[in-house]
Amino acid sequence: MRVEGQVVVVTGGAEGIGKALARRFRREGARTVVVADINEAGAEAVASQVGGAAYPCDVSREADIRRLVETVEGRFGPIALFCSNAGVAMGYDLAADNVAFAPNEAWERSWAVNVMA
């Protein structure tokens, strides 16, 4: 997909793959790169690096996602690409721990962020 001149949103954009995606979209000519993350300071730093905008967003909360989309479209126009990159690990070492015994809260958070967002 060509993003030149387009509005792009990257969730989980404060670090790792999301940070790399934000940088790449800027290099590819995106008009606006929105870095959305629960790590507000990290999102601000990446947005500053790419000349974009940062927005706090917990993708496990539908209301946060709706607010993000409404705010971005109201300020920058239609979103051409919503890169749903945010993800969480359960905090278990798959080689050493038995994730089957992880508490329900860990499974619910993982599901909400990694599947539903």
Task: Give the pLDDT of residue 54.
Answer: 99
pLDDT per position in the chain (117 positions), as tens? 899 999 999 999 999 999 999 999 999 999 999 999 999 999 999 999 999 999 999 998 999 999 999 999 999 999 999 999 988 776 666 566 666 777 788 778 777 777 776
| Residue of 94, 87, 91, 93 lying closest to 105 (CA atoms) | 91
Domain ranges of the chain: 7-86, 90-117
**Tokens at 37, concatenated:** 């993350």
- Whole-model pTM: value is 0.84
Q: Which fold has domain 7-86?
A: Rossmann fold (3.40.50)
Spatial separation of the C-alpha atoms in residues 31 and 102, rounded to whole Å:
42
Tokens of 31: 């008009």
